[in-house]
């Protein structure tokens, strides 16, 4: 499975108006705490991979997922192979990861409000320490180019410029921010 994603900095107020005009369906709001891990056998920053444990809180409850993100697969989006699975016991998962030599490296906290337009999820992200972003994404098994082109169309519908996209993850942006201080 591939996650095809475009992300830009944007003021949420303007985007909300355009989402309404475009007939988007509001899906809901969640709070996420992402813990990224370092591997004992390779440097994920160098290989452009990530291992993440995400805890998501919403009105429906709390869910934890383990996610592996592979390296970016193209130059024009944040498309990457992704594998994820729900976790029943986050404390046991932490013990497993520690036993295998994986160590927590950084955390990212955000509030996300999601909308649907066609087969795309539009997410308004407020990221602690970084500000406001908009992501347009979908998951596909193949035909990454068509999915990316569709994501660009959705961005343009929302008055956003897909050529201003940021291919760096929130983790990477936070690490850059910390390094510049």
Considering the candidates 2, 36, 120, 170, report the single residue annotated as catalytic. 36
Alpha-carbon distance of 148 to 170, in angstroms, equals 20
> Residue 38's closest CA among 109, 128, 107?
107
Q: Given CA atoms 142, 30, 98, 175 in this order, what sign does their dihedral have?
A: positive
Alpha-carbon distance of 23 to 11, in angstroms, equals 19
> Residue 66's closest CA among 80, 56, 79?
56
Q: How many CB atoms lie within 10 A of CB 154?
A: 24
Tokens 């972003």 correspond to: 133
120 included as an active-site residue: no
Strand partners, 108: 34
Query: Active-site residues: which are they?
Result: 36
């Amino acid at each position: 499975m591939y996650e095809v994603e475009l992300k830009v900095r944007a003021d949420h107020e303007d985007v909300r108006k355009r989402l309404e005009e475009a007939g988007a369906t509001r899906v809901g709001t969640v709070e996420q705490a992402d813990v990224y891990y370092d591997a004992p056998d390779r440097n994920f920053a160098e290989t452009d991979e990530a291992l993440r444990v995400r805890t998501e809180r919403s009105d429906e409850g709390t869910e934890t997922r383990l996610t592996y993100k592979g390296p970016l697969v193209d130059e024009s989006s944040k498309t990457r192979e992704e594998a994820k699975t729900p976790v029943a016991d986050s404390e046991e998962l932490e013990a497993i990861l520690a036993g295998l030599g994986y160590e927590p490296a950084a955390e990212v906290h955000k509030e996300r409000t999601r909308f649907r337009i066609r087969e795309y999820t539009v997410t308004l992200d407020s990221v602690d320490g970084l500000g406001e972003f908009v992501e347009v994404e979908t998951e596909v098994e193949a035909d990454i180019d068509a999915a990316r082109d569709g994501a660009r169309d959705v961005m343009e519908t929302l008055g956003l410029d897909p050529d201003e996209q940021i291919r760096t993850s929130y983790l990477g942006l936070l690490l850059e921010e910390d390094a510049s201080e």
